[in-house]
Amino acid sequence: MNLIEALNAVSDVIFPPQCLGCAEVLHPQNGKLFCPACKEKIKFITGDICPVCGTIFPDSPAKSHLCGNCLENKTYFSCARAVVSYETIILHAIHQFKYGNNISVGALLASFMADFSFPDINFADYSLIVPVPLHIKRLRDRGFNQALILARAIAKKRQIPVNFSMLKRHKFTLTQTGLNKSERKQNIKGAFEVSDKKIVAGKNVILVDDVCTTGATINECAKTLLKAGAQKVTVLTLARVLQSYTH
């Protein structure tokens, strides 16, 4: 046992890990994130999804078909994948992280996301990881960018460099919460810029965010990255909002 492991072992006795869902003290065999009851409530994204945006088809009529949204609208990212659906336990944990300023919850969620296999993503194809940026004003208010904490964990796990300053959010926008799909698209339009095109030119990029709701933000980021010369943009989010399938 090295010094860090020894210190972690001591801190686990003094501050035993608690479940992110219900705050119950966790037994070591259950890991450091969720108790078995909460773990069971987490909905991993499995089954049939849109091959582009990753939206889930609850009652899939056929395998591997584009969803209505991807058929109707131009999608700039090549595909978007998420680990879990944004509800119950994960929603609560992400709220603690983002709005409760709980960075230690963030670190646990980041390792949870980094350890996920993303079965249809070949990480060897990518040479750059970029988090969805916050506007400087929001970054000052919050004190951290939740997407960067997730991106760093994936970058470390996959041995891909992360760049957090090249993609910038130069337009301050209203929060997307409470806006409908077309309002979100309009609100986020032109919000991002690439400060150094040389970094992104010709690269396959992984864009990381905490939650995908309608996809408006990630699509605008992907559009900006492609315009700056990126070859391909793939999006990974920790969670995605379930949307009912419509034609």
Name the nearest CA neighbour of 82 among 91, 73, 69, 92.
Answer: 91
Binding segment (CB under 5 A) for Zn ion, from list 65-73, 91-99, 167-175, 233-241: 65-73
Task: Give the C-alpha separation, 100 to 193, whole Å.
Answer: 29
As a whole number of Å, the end-to-end CA separation of the chain is: 56
Torsion of CA 115, 116, 121, 124, to 10 degrees: 10
Please say which residue, 53 or 188, places its beta carbon nearer to Zn ion. Answer: 53
Q: Write out the two tokens for 150.
A: 């997730």
Instruction: Write the binding mask 7 to 36 for Zn ion: x where contact by CB under 5 A, - elsewhere.
Output: ------------x-xx-x----------x-
Which 70-129 positions form the footprint of Zn ion (CB under 5 A)? 70
Specify the residue, 88 or 158, whose C-beta has the smaller distance to Zn ion.
88
Q: Do residues 189 and 220 make contact, with C-beta atoms less than 8 angstroms apart?
A: yes
CB of 53 to Zn ion, least distance (A): 3
Nearer to Zn ion, 105 or 199 (CB): 105
Q: Which of 33, 67, 188, 218 binds Zn ion (CB under 5 A)?
A: 67
Q: Closer to Zn ion at the Cβ: 53 or 93?
A: 53
Segment lying near Zn ion (by CB under 5 A), choices 38-46, 80-88, 149-157, 237-245: 38-46
Which of 18, 31, 48, 52 binds Zn ion (CB under 5 A)? It is 52
- Of 50 and 233, which has the nearer Cβ to Zn ion? 50
From candidates 50, 82, 113, 188, binder to Zn ion by CB under 5 A? 50
E-strand stretches of the chain: 79-85, 128-131, 167-169, 192-194, 204-212, 232-240
Contacts of 212 (CB under 8 A, 6+ apart): 54, 80, 82, 218, 235, 237, 239, 240, 241
User: Residue 242: what are its φ and ψ, rounded to 5°?
Assistant: -75, 130
Residues that bind Zn ion (CB under 5 A): 19, 21-22, 24, 35, 38, 50, 52-53, 55, 67, 70
